[in-house]
Amino acid sequence: MTRAPEPLVTARIAPMARLPAFFALTGKRALVAGGSAAATWKAELLSAAGAQVEVFALQPGEDMLALASAPPNGAVVIQQRDWSADDFSGAAIAVADCSNDKDAAQFAATARNAGVPVNVIDRPAFCDFSFGAIVNRSPLVIGISTEGAAPVFGQAIRAKIEALIPQGFARWAAAALAWRPRLRALALSFRGRRTFWERFAARAMASPDRMPNEAEFPALLAPAPRTGGSVTLVGAGPGDPELLTLRAVRALQSADVILFDDLVSTDILDFARREAKKMLVGKTGHAPSCRQDEINALMISLAKSGRCVVRLKGGDPMIFGRADEEIAACRAAGIPIEVVPGITTAQGAAGRLLVSLTRRGEARRVQYITGHSHGGALPTDIDWAGVADSTVTTVVYMPSKTLPDLVDAALKAGLQPTTPAVAVMSATRTDERVMAATIADLPGRLAIERLTGPVVVMIGRVFDHLQSEANEVALAPMQRSVPLAK
């Protein structure tokens, strides 16, 4: 059964609670009502953005007075009186710290009547915009909003991003700001401009703490050696997008075309550029699939046309992913190819189960086997003595149709019927399901449950505790959306 590759239509952006936007305030007037610590912080942010801040407060606090004497950028002037409607004339933005909803409503209404965007601190009902948490690598600035629902959560996210974004990115962003007008004046093609910025980004990522120098501008413009396209085999992991490697994310973000399998979680594709063409070239056992030779031909054709092609596979491409065939096809066609490994389904499932596949004293080795041969039947060359070995953890990929025959053959080879086993469907995904049983009972249990997603079966003594109802609490952190099947 065959099917043609299917282009994936990029979905529209999902609804947002807020539109992230950045005000250009340099030299513009900002109005702040209140002299509290909260008002002082907002006045400091406005000054840092270059605004000329006018503060109205009968009794400004010491922090506000100190800010006025040493502002970070734009001047901060304090008017020791209440604000009036006339004060909004010519203001670009207005912020207030109000003690009650009545004052907040009056301030917001006055600002809106004057056509001035307004924020009332900690009173979202009266706000046209919010500040959120900020990561400052100016001119690179990152804003984080939780719609006012969880400011502490926003701050935690800010801290995580702060740790990931080098301080030196501020220098690279400043260089980009200075070089952009010069680049525009050269009237390059779209591709030429994109190549410049791709090289710029690569240098910034490689040397974030180095100061970019003037000599790099012409170097980034130098014609690159004419090359064709390339292919990268990327492991998408078992499903949870947080298990993607950083290298996999970079590959997805640089791809022109992504050829992905049915087993790839659609959440993974959110990491790709929106402009990238995404094509489903699904290969599903016992169902209509794209033929391997057709996938190879499409992949090579796209690469020969100069495209950067990512072949995205569930789990790790080097584990039952037919990577050797695609590597051989690319080499025969003279196409550069590289591999980005991924978290295997077995690793993902074991991590969620909190089970070491090589638990000390229980398992000397781990082996991966497939329950699905080229023709769809159980492979005839499985080392059954190895499967029956009580000191081995065996992971069976693609077992759904052939598991009864596989278990029967393993039992005849000496595998004990009471050997613990576990089947995991859609490992690490939101619809993950787990079934623990003895290996003798597992095929019957699976037949009753009729698990429909991708399934992996793992066999060995390391799973003995999963059959105990008393130990079910160990599975609680997994937070499955579907109850554990027993």
Q: Report, as residue numbers or ranges, the catalytic residues.
A: 261, 283
Joined together, the tokens standing for residue 205 give 């990522």
Closest CA to 234 of 298, 290, 309, 312: 312
Of residues 99, 135, 117, 103, the one with CA closest to residue 29: 117
* Residues in contact with 330: Cβ distance below 8 Å, sequence separation at least 6, in sequence order: 231, 299, 300, 303, 336, 337
Dist. CA 95–CA 119, nearest whole Å: 5
H helix or E strand, kind and range, residue 420: strand 420-425
Q: Which of 59, 23, 18 is nearest to 40 (CA)?
A: 59
Q: Are 232 and 276 in contact, with CB atoms under 8 Å apart? A: no
How buried is residue 115: exposed, middle or buried, by Cβ count under 10 Å (0-12/13-18/19+)? exposed
Which residues are bridge partners to 485 per DSSP?
435
Alpha carbon distance 76, 43 (integer Å):
8
